[in-house]
Amino acid sequence: MATLINSSGLEEEIVLESLEQIQELVDGYFEQINVEGGLLMINEDGIAKNLPLNDKASALAQQPIRGNVIFTTHAEVAS
């Protein structure tokens, strides 16, 4: 299981099924950031697109993160 953390702070458990699903959830191409306990999948153009600041994801990453984010484990991505 993975967790979608939207920019308003709401969290939703999701099952990662495809690259297209991830891109749809984060609103575009994504990059991964390693964080304690897993990784974040974030919109790679979040700043350029001026997406809303995601406070929960920013706290996990210890840097400003914009837009919807997927938090998951390395094992989940590898499967």
Tens-place pLDDT, residues 40-61: 999 999 999 999 999 999 999 9
Q: Which domain holds residue 34?
A: 2-76
37: left (phi over 0), alpha (psi -120 to 50) or beta: left
Give me the residues of the chain with pLDDT under 70, please.
78-79
SS (H, E, C) 30-74: EEEEEECCEEEEEECCCCCCCCCECHHHHHHHCCCCECCEEEECH
Note the pLDDT of residue 76: 83
Q: How many domains does the chain have?
A: 1
